[in-house]
């Protein structure tokens, strides 16, 4: 009897979770037709008689029994819309015939539904949900893969991304990613590490672990209309974060508090996450390009603060940097450096159109920065080797912050950043008055037929615009929390 009651309650839970699942979700995700079309476009690129195989991202453990929030592999998401772990996608170049005569050219294997697991860790679509909501005709529970009759040896090429061997085995779960990969390796005769090098050199097998990345870069580098809308949303939300911080910032705030204001704004507008770890560095901390600890307890009045953050909206991320004076007014030295960086960005913007390469944009920003640094006496010659601008200026944005895409010739609907910077750390070989000044200005753009759309133009960018915004009142001016004692009473 007890077993029957337990069974009925679990069945009830499963149905309850299923029936409520849709109403609780945002409804503006990419459509299943988008993903279907992307698979069709990939299929066009695949070589004759081949199959492409993709795996979902692994679940990442944070510590003990706590995992990081799951994030799907961007290729997998792009092709399927599936946001859960422990899954595998096969895209065939040609139609295949199943034992019952069904013709198909794609299959997805997904984690099975499980009432108990769903009560603990969240709803699952299962094979039926994937059929209904994501539009797959051939979908199976991943536990079916082992006995699924697919003869990989008959293909001229089996394409997949090689494995990093960083997937945890849950020995008590036969429906995990580790098991799927192990079974795949058996089915394709995946070579041992030593055999792999020989096999690659001698082309002894039909496994191709390099071509997919080229195809995916070609596809993902040029955004569809729906993707541009997602990126626009991520960018708008991130710009609003910058604006709210400009209004709210005060000397004495901590870097984390400032990070928290940006990220609160993201959540307020339904962005599910940040697209990368937020960088909020005051003074010298701004010189650390990817400073993510954000540990400074009090930002001081005379400092600049460099804020490089991007909201992730339904998988797509913005990447925007603003550098502002904590007290609301750039000092003459801060402004001198800021205006060089701004001029470098403007010079690169002018060059954007189909056909331009990232290298050309990079070159023009370096020229402006070098000339500016020389004019200020920070370097002696424009050809001097220095570390004040140690990074490139451009990268694609999309499902990854450093998104896939070709860098040689821009095409309409590529989305990318221009982000020159100047960073002058302590003990640099220049007048100490410049030490601790770090400026990056980073904006997001879309290539149009003849030029570009400046996606992040709503975030104040010139020193005048920033100073004017910083004078505006903030809704957080009255958000004053009580003191909490750090030590014992
Ligand atoms: N936020 C990382 C970058 O700007 O590339
Ligand atoms: Mn960037
Ligand atoms: Mn950035």
Two tokens, residue 301: 């009045």
Over the stretch 32-57, which tens digit does the pLDDT of each residue have? 999 999 999 999 999 999 999 999 99
Q: Which of 27, 197, 174, 446 is nearest to 182 (CA)?
A: 174
- Same domain for 253 and 132? no
Q: Same domain for 157 and 125?
A: yes
Q: Is 308 in the pocket of ligand 1 (CB under 6 A)?
A: yes
Of 169, 199, 219, the residue at which a domain comes to its end is 219
Q: Rounded mean pLDDT of 202-222? A: 93
Tokens 């010189």 locate to: 287
Token pair of 400 as six digits: 């990854």
Location of structure tokens 């400046």: 454
CA-nearest residue for atom 4, ligand 1, is 319
Q: Which of 280, 402, 420, 444 to mutate to test the pocket of ligand 1 (most atoms within 8 A of CB)?
A: 402
Instruction: Tell whether the model's pLDDT for residue 99 goes beyond 90.
Output: no
Please give the residue range of the domain that contains residue 410: 223-469
Among residues 194, 219, 244, which one ends one of the domains? 219
Quick check: is 416 in a domain? yes
- Is 58 a domain residue? yes
Reported as a pLDDT band with limits 50, 70 and 90, residue 254 is very high
Mean pLDDT for the stretch of residues 257-278: 98
Instruction: Please check whether residues 203 and 290 belong to one and the same domain.
Output: no
* CB 176 near ligand 1, within 6 Å: no
Residue 482 lies in a domain: no
CA distances from 205 to 162, 194, 200 (A): 14, 14, 8
Same-domain pairing of 448 and 375: yes
- pLDDT greater than 60 at residue 148: yes
Query: For residue 14, is pLDDT > 50?
Result: no
Ligand 1 atom with least separation from CA of 391: 5
Q: Any residues with CB less than 8 A from the CB of 261 and at least 6 apart, and which? A: 241, 244, 245, 248, 476
Domain annotation covers residue 98: yes
Q: Is there a single domain that holds both residue 166 and residue 301?
A: no
Q: What is the pLDDT at residue 12?
A: 45
**Total domains in the fold of the chain:** 2
Task: Tell me: do 39 and 117 sit in the same domain.
Answer: yes
Residue 149: what pLDDT? 87
Q: List CB-based neighbours of ion ligand 2 within 5 Å.
A: 319, 417, 419
Q: 């799907």: which residue's tokens?
A: 72
Nearest CA to ligand 1 atom 5: 402
246 pLDDT higher than 50: yes
What's the pLDDT score for residue 488? 67
Query: What band does 21 get if pLDDT is binned at 50, 70 and 90?
Result: low
276 ligand 1 Cβ < 6 A: yes
Banded model confidence at residue 23, pLDDT cuts 50, 70, 90: low
Q: Which contacts qualify for 41-46: CB closer than 8 Å, 24 or more apart?
A: 41/219, 42/79, 42/91, 42/215, 42/216, 42/219, 43/91, 43/92, 43/93, 43/105, 45/215, 45/218, 45/219, 46/91, 46/93, 46/159, 46/215
How does residue 192 score in pLDDT terms, banded at 50, 70 and 90? confident
Q: Does some domain include residue 420?
A: yes
Cα-based distances in Å from 221 to 75, 122, 313, 394, 415: 12, 32, 18, 13, 8
Q: What is the CA(416)–ligand 1 centre distance, in A?
A: 11
Ligand (nearest to CA of 277)? 1
**Closest to 53 in 3D by CA, of 94, 97, 92, 103:** 92
| Cβ contacts of 171 within 8 Å, gap of 6 or more | none
* 319 touches ligand 1 (CB under 6 Å): yes
In a domain, 486, yes or no: no
Would you place residue 4 in the very low, low, confident or very high pLDDT band (cuts 50, 70, 90)?
Answer: very low
Ligand nearest to the CA of 306: 3
Mean pLDDT of the chain: 94
Q: In this structure, which ligand is nearest to the CA of 394?
A: 2
In a domain, 207, yes or no: yes
Residues 427 and 303 in one domain: yes
Q: Are 277 and 164 contained in the same domain?
A: no
Phi-psi region of 377 (alpha: psi -120 to 50; beta: other; left: phi over 0): left
CATH number at residue 159: 3.40.350.10
Q: What is the per-residue pLDDT for 13? A: 46
Please tell me the predicted confidence (pLDDT) of residue 10. Answer: 47
CA 266 to each of CA 21, 37, 275: distance values in angstroms, whole numbers, following the listed order: 23, 30, 11
Asked if the structure places residue 3 within a domain, the reply is no
Provide mean pLDDT across the span 368-380.
98
Does residue 453 register a pLDDT over 70?
yes
Residue that finishes a domain, picked among 160, 192, 219: 219
My answer on whether 338 and 260 are in the same domain is: yes
Between 23 and 423, the more confident residue is 423
Q: 23 or 120, which is more confident?
A: 120
Q: What band does 202 get if pLDDT is binned at 50, 70 and 90?
A: low
Which residue out of 274, 278, 317, 321 has the highest number of ligand 1 atoms within 8 Å of its CB and is therefore the one to mutate? Answer: 321
Assess whether the C-beta atom of 442 lies below 6 angstroms from ligand 1: yes
| Per-residue model confidence as pLDDT tens digits over 301-356 | 999 999 999 999 999 999 999 999 999 999 999 999 999 999 999 999 999 999 99
pLDDT of residue 486: 82
Q: Angle 126-134/32-45 helices, nearest 10 degrees?
A: 90
Residues 183 and 232 reside in one and the same domain: no
- Domain CATH number, residue 387: 3.90.230.10
- Please tell me whether residues 207 and 294 are part of one structural domain: no
Do 229 and 199 belong to one domain? Answer: no
Nearest ligand, CA of residue 278? 1
Instruction: Report the pLDDT averaged over residues 427-431.
Output: 97
- The whole-number average pLDDT for the span 451-468 is 99
Q: Show Cβ contacts of residue 192 under 8 Å, excluding neighbours closer than 6 positions.
A: none
User: In angstroms, what is the span from residue 345 Cα to ligand 2's centroid?
Assistant: 13
């Amino acid at each position: 009897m007890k077993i029957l009651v337990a069974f009925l309650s679990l069945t009830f839970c499963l149905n309850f979770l299923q029936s409520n699942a849709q109403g609780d979700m945002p409804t503006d995700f990419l459509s299943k037709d988008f993903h279907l079309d992307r698979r069709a476009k990939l299929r066009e690129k695949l070589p004759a008689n081949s199959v492409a195989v993709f795996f979902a991202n692994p679940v990442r453990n944070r510590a003990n029994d706590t995992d990081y929030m799951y994030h799907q592999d961007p290729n997998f998401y792009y092709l399927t819309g599936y946001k859960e772990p422990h899954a595998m996608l096969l895209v065939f170049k040609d139609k295949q015939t199943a034992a019952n005569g069904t013709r198909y050219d794609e299959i997805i294997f997904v984690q099975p539904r499980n009432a108990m697991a769903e009560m603990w860790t969240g709803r699952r679509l299962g094979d039926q949900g994937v059929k209904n909501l994501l539009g797959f005709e051939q979908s199976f529970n991943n536990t079916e893969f082992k006995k699924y009759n697919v003869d990989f040896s008959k293909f001229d090429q089996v394409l997949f991304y090689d494995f990093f061997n960083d997937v945890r085995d849950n020995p008590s779960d036969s429906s995990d990613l580790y098991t799927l990969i192990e079974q795949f390796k058996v089915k394709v005769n995946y070579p041992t590490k030593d055999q792999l090098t020989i096999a690659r050199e001698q082309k002894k097998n039909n496994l191709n672990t390099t071509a997919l990345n080229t195809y995916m870069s070609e596809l993902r580098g040029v955004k569809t209309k729906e993707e541009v809308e997602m990126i626009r949303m991520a960018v708008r939300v991130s710009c609003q974060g910058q604006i709210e911080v400009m209004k709210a910032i005060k000397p004495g705030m901590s870097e984390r508090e400032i990070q928290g204001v940006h990220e609160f704004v993201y959540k307020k507008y339904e962005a599910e996450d940040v697209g990368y770890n937020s960088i909020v560095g005051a003074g010298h901390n701004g010189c650390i390009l990817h400073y993510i600890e954000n540990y400074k307890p009090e930002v001081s009045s005379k400092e600049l603060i460099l804020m490089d953050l991007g909201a992730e909206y339904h998988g797509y991320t913005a990447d925007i940097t603003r550098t502002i004076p904590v007290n609301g007014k750039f000092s003459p030295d801060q402004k001198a450096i800021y205006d060089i960086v701004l001029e470098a960005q403007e010079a690169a913007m002018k060059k954007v159109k189909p056909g331009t390469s990232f290298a050309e944009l990079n070159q023009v920003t370096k020229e402006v920065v070098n000339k500016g640094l020389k004019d200020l006496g920070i370097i002696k010659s424009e050809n001097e080797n220095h570390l004040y601008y140690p990074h490139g200026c451009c990268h694609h944005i999309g499902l990854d912050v450093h998104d896939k895409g070709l860098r040689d010739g821009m095409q309409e609907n590529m989305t990318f950043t221009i982000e020159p910077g100047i960073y002058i750390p302590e003990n640099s070989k220049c007048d100490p008055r410049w030490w601790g000044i770090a400026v990056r200005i980073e904006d997001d753009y879309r290539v149009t037929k003849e030029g570009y759309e400046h996606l992040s133009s709503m975030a104040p960018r010139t020193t005048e615009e920033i100073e004017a915004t910083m004078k505006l009142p903030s809704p957080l001016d009255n958000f004053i929390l009580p003191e909490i004692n750090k030590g014992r009473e």
